[in-house]
Chain A
Amino acid sequence: MTSAFALWWWALPAVLLPIWWHREKRQRLRAEPLATARFLPKAPPQQKRVWAWVERLLLLLRCLLLIGVIAWLADVAFPWRGDTVIVSRDVDATWAEAQIKEAGFSEARRLSLPDEDALTWLVAHEREWKSDARLLLLASGDAVPMAARAPTLAHQLDLRVQPGVIPATSIERHVVIVSERGAEWRSVFKAFESAGQGRDRYVIDEVPNNKTELIVWDKDGAPDSRWQAPLWWRNVAPPQDLAAARALYARWQPQQPYAAPSMKLAAANASPALLPVGALQDWLAPLLALLFGLERLLAHVRRR
């Protein structure tokens, strides 16, 4: 969810208004002086605006002022959220209720976590919370990836991770084994399956198909040239002990992100004004005041 305030940028076409208003008015007809014109009937004034601009300095100031105001509006965010419970999607409802009660957040507003990295989202939107607000983040096992450094938040954050939640569906991984020692390889993959806590299920195929991820070629001779797979293990013997099996598994398995554990983050001393969003505030407000003053001055001078 991007900040709703950014929608203010859509107001930029308002700059066209002063540009339109400052177009020069010209008399359509050149009127000749005539002393006895008073005895003639009145003609309606015939003026038209032409594509030339009058009071260009004032126009420039007004455009700048409008752009400044829009930028200020788009950038500003008033903190309006109080104590909040942020709940990730996969969290078990009864566990979540128990945690909320335990943490004393029964009165707090509930907010379901948007479909992205919870901590990154929190950092980006932190200025929406009042300075004394507390946050409780309830997440399932791997919903919150472990960051390299603890995030610096201006608010107190209680992160609680629901333990032992295993995804309901496991992923099928297709492997082709061509070996004299087929039974040994099968038992190795069985061991991998249990090491992955049931997340992966290995399907051993005779012939590679388009789902095949790995071909184990533990045999003399060249394989069929039409066989294709992202990964080949050639001339590798099945591991004989636990350490070798673990090394092989670690080499093959893609890097799984580490999930953050449950933790309590104290409020850091960083003020939300120092955050990247809202950085315009410091100098935009005085600039706007200056522009407004100049604009009023020029408009006043023009009237005299």
Chain B
Amino acid sequence: MLATASLLAHTADLDLVIRHVLAGLGHGLHAGRERGAGVEFSEYRAYVPGDEWRRVDWKLLARVDRYYVREAERDSHVAIWLLLDTSASMAEPSRAIEGLTKLWFARTVLGCLAAIAQRQGDAFGLILAGDGRVEFTPAARGPRQLHKVLAQLSRAEALGPLPDDQALRASLHFARSPSLIFAVSDFLDWPSPLSELLLRLRHLQHDVRLLTLSTQAEEAASFAGGSAYRDPEQVEGLHRFDAEARAAYRSARSAHFEAVTTQCRQHDMPLLNASIEQALGTVLRAWLQLAGRR
């Protein structure tokens, strides 16, 4: 699996990686999957590359010699929101697999979710929170939206700090209808404007699901000693790592994530801790199942 993870990490084509991961996932995982493209006919729409062939109306093709796709009225109004933390700390690389970063892992997981949402015919949108601002892609359906979201995800870079409270609050307007929010971050900042936003969304009765990413080196505290480290989101201040720092690091880190887990449990937000060296498919499956168990 390691070789595959390494290979995947070096694949620039996000679409290809998503196909690979979803092929391993099998079908029928998502609990809220709708049947087909709807039963009640709503309207015809011109065919766009990426539409499933089975949704093309062949009789209409024979009559007007153009491809049309049948759009159905949907019962469900649940929108899926993909929230990605693109602050500088997400650039943390795996110290075991070269080329693999938290951002790459997070982006691929969210890409897979977008693909699943598109297959189900759900509307989905994307929120990138990093470099002090929020990039917002409104929710929509269809293959074009998938391309848009995947392009946004591929373009995302881990830079700067998290956006502040005001910037995040300004982007809250998306959550009017009941939505399903998938947020991926390292959650090293907690409480933070991002955690406040997630809690607020949860209070608005949205379904908020969190994925916390870490690396094996972070979990095992196996950094190279003797070197000085700095926090990528803070300009000043150096940190040292040695034998006595290891114990302090372990206790501080576990205390932090215990607090995060406790708060998530209190607010009924499913939280999955994963390391980026794990197989992507496994993590994705575990995350979806975790939410499904509720």
Contact = CB atoms under 8 A, between A and B. Distances in A.
Contact of B223 (A34, A41, A42): A34
Interface string A85-115: 0000000000000000000000000000000
A250 interface: no
Interface in B229-251: 229-232, 234, 236-241, 245, 248-249
B240 A36 contact: no
Contacts of A301: none
Interface centre among A29, A40, A44 (most CB of B within 10 A): A40
Contacts of B214: 36
Contacts of A30: 227-228
A46 B253 CA distance: 26
Interface in A24-40: 29-40
Contact of A36 (B90, B188, B234): B188
B91 interface: yes
B92 interface: yes
B277 to A, nearest CB: 15
A38 B88 CA distance: 14
A33 B234 CA distance: 10
Interface residues of B, number: 30
B240 A34 contact: no
Contact of B238 (A29, A35, A38): A29
A45 interface: yes
B188 to A, nearest CB: 6
Contact of A43 (B186, B232, B240, B248): B240
Contacts of B16: none
A36 B218 CA distance: 7
B257 to A, nearest CB: 10
Contacts of A46: 228, 238
B82 to A, nearest CB: 21
B25 interface: no
B102 interface: yes
A39 B231 CA distance: 10
B256 interface: yes
A38 B188 CA distance: 9
A31 to B, nearest CB: 4
Interface centre among B218, B230, B249 (most CB of A within 10 A): B230
B228 A32 contact: yes
B259 interface: no
B172 interface: no
A31 B188 contact: no
A42 B239 CA distance: 4
A43 B238 contact: yes
Interface centre among B239, B245, B248, B256 (most CB of A within 10 A): B239
A43 B90 CA distance: 23
A30 B230 CA distance: 9
B188 A45 contact: no
Nearest to B232: A33
B227 A40 contact: no
Contacts of B223: 34
A44 B92 CA distance: 23
A36 B256 CA distance: 11
Interface centre among B223, B228, B248, B252 (most CB of A within 10 A): B228
Given A31-B238, A33-B91, A45-B238, A39 B230 contact: no
B253 A39 contact: yes
B241 A40 contact: yes
A36 B249 CA distance: 9
A46 B90 CA distance: 27
B235 to A, nearest CB: 11
Interface centre among B188, B231, B237 (most CB of A within 10 A): B231
A177 B162 CA distance: 115
Interface in B109-148: none
Given A31-B228, A32-B229, A35-B218, A43 B239 contact: yes
Contacts of B253: 36, 39
A191 B252 CA distance: 116
Contacts of B238: 29, 31, 42-46
A289 B226 CA distance: 52
A39 B256 contact: yes
A43 B114 CA distance: 43
A184 B231 CA distance: 114
25 contacts: A29-B228, A29-B238, A30-B228, A31-B229, A32-B230, A33-B229, A34-B223, A34-B229, A35-B92, A35-B102, A35-B232, A37-B229, A37-B230, A37-B231, A38-B239, A39-B256, A40-B229, A40-B239, A40-B241, A41-B239, A41-B245, A41-B248, A42-B240, A43-B238, A43-B239
Minimum-distance CB pairs A-B, first 7? A40-B239, A35-B92, A35-B89, A43-B240, A34-B229, A31-B230, A39-B252
Interface of B: 88-92, 102, 186, 188, 214, 218, 223, 227-232, 234, 236-241, 245, 248-249, 252-253, 256
Given A37-B232, A37-B239, 10 more contacts: A29-B228, A35-B89, A35-B102, A38-B188, A38-B234, A38-B239, A40-B229, A42-B239, A43-B238, A45-B236
